[in-house]
Amino acid sequence: MMDEQDALNGQGGREDQFQAENNNETMESLMRSENAGLEFPSQGEIRKGVIASISQSQILVSVGSKSEGVIMGRELEQIPTSEREQLAVGQEIPVYVVNPEDQNGNVVLSYLRARESMGWEIVEKMQESGESFDGKIEGYNKGGLIVLVHGLRGFIPASQISMGRRNLVQGDMPDRWAKMIGETISVRIIEVDRARRRLILSERAANPETRQSMKERVIEGLEEGQVYTGRVTSVADFGAFVNVNGADGLVHLSELSWERIQRPSEILEVGQEVKVKVISVDKDKKRIGLSIRALQGDPWHTKVEKFKVGQLVEGTITRLTKFGAFARLEGDIEGLIHISELSENRINHPKESVKEGDMLTLRVIRIDADQRRIGLSLRKVDSGAYADMDMKALAAELNKDDEE
């Protein structure tokens, strides 16, 4: 009997043990099935979350797991006040998983990093597609304008700002862009470098008006004689280009100054602001002729006042040409001795009569103020036709010496 009872008791113990093991397996299976549909957050992941509660110290966000994520501390402080005030319970927002579990068992989230990461993805696609973006000018520095694009600070270098907008500012002071803050501006993304947090924008690339069409529009409104303030855009050996109202016009070397200069770079540099006068407009060839010297007094007229026809003057031969020789007179005025006025005898070239550097007594035989020309003669220095004038000039000189 004892053996039978012991057997029965042993069998019952084994059944209880089997039942307990079966129950444990069932519980584990149940837990696995409950968690099967849950994807626990992982570090660096961006998720869509729903705001569960908002307080002064933290924002709880449901991210699809049993535990809620939290936005707090410095991250919370860095969210602009105006933006924090617009957040509401039940609102869906993007969040970046900073830490899937901190020491308190919380999932640490970042709203700003999620928004920034999504912003970079958007601008990268915008650059690929070439689409334009209408934003507001949020700030500036000396080099250009700052525009927010999907939460990212984009920079428009001055060279990429439209000509029309650049013409509204004067000088190179850092605050020249200040009055544009708050204005809407259409831009296109031309460079994205997420690693360096570099986002470069261009208004010119987004502006449908081409440089040529802008020039045509400006030319239609220009008239000869008008005076404008422009900016030097380039300098070449033959002259300088100056932008007027969005179109470049040429100031030829001869129109830069009344003084003789070899290169425009002697008096102008790119970016310099200058006043110019419109001297020609060719609408067919789309050319604008400008002058700087036309706005300056011609010093030649003042210097030449001391000379008169028939007067004897001292001059230095400066250069020879096949048609005559040029001589520099007092005050750096230059006159021409035509080949026919060099000698009583016929010569084939001025070098037969004079050479560069010769200092000679010459007679003024013509003054053309409109053409800024003085005609000189070597062969008429002793001409009897001017004897009376020479005597009067000599007498006047002697009287002057006596008075002194």
Query: Three-class SS string for 258-299?
Result: CCCCCCHHHCCCCCCEEEEEEEEEECCCCEEEEECHHHCCCH
Q: How confident is the model at residue 171 (pLDDT cuts 50, 70, 90)?
A: low
Coil/strand/helix, residue 340: helix
Q: Measuring CA to CA, which residue among 173, 187, 172 is closest to residue 137?
A: 187
> What is residue 91's predicted lDDT score, i.e. its pLDDT?
92
The pLDDT tens digits for 304-321 are 888 888 889 999 999 999
Name the more confident of 9 and 95: 95
The Cα 207–Cα 209 span in angstroms is 5
In single-letter form, the type of residue at position 283 comes to K
Domain with CATH 2.40.50.140 in the chain: 46-116, 130-206, 221-295, 300-403
Q: Which CATH class is domain 46-116?
A: mainly beta
Buried b (16+ CB within 10 A) or exposed e, 182-218: eeebbbbbbebeeeeeebbbbbbebbeeeeeebbeeb
The Cα 114–Cα 395 span in angstroms is 99
| Fold of the domain built from segment(s) 300-403 | OB fold (Dihydrolipoamide Acetyltransferase, E2P) (2.40.50)
Mean pLDDT of 319-333: 90
How far CA 40 is from CA of 52, 59, 68, 71, 325, in Å, comes to 18, 19, 11, 17, 97
Region of poorest pLDDT, from 31-45, 231-245, 335-349? 31-45
Say if residue 326's pLDDT is above 90. yes
The Cα 156–Cα 144 span in angstroms is 6
Coil/strand/helix, residue 320: strand
Region of poorest pLDDT, from 15-19, 44-48, 52-56, 323-327? 15-19
Say if residue 170's pLDDT is above 70. no
Which neighbouring-strand residues pair with 147? Answer: 137, 154
The Cα 50–Cα 60 span in angstroms is 9
Buried b (16+ CB within 10 A) or exposed e, 151-177: ebebbbebebbbbebbbebeeeeeebb
Q: How confident is the model at residue 120 (pLDDT cuts 50, 70, 90)?
A: very high
The Cα 262–Cα 265 span in angstroms is 9
Q: How confident is the model at residue 14 (pLDDT cuts 50, 70, 90)?
A: low
Architecture of domain 221-295: Beta Barrel (2.40)
Q: Measuring CA to CA, which residue among 141, 122, 120 is closest to residue 131?
A: 122
The pLDDT tens digits for 223-267 are 889 999 988 888 888 999 998 887 889 999 999 988 888 889 899
Q: Which CATH number is 130-206's, of 3.40.50.300, 2.40.50.140, 2.60.40.10, 3.40.50.720?
A: 2.40.50.140
> Rounded to the nearest 5 degrees, what angle is found at the Cα of 271, between the Cα atoms of 240 and 259?
45
> What is residue 323's predicted lDDT score, i.e. its pLDDT?
94
In the chain, % helix, strand, coil (3-state, to 5) comes to: 35, 35, 30
210 secondary structure, DSSP code: -
Contact by Cβ (8 Å): 62, 91: no
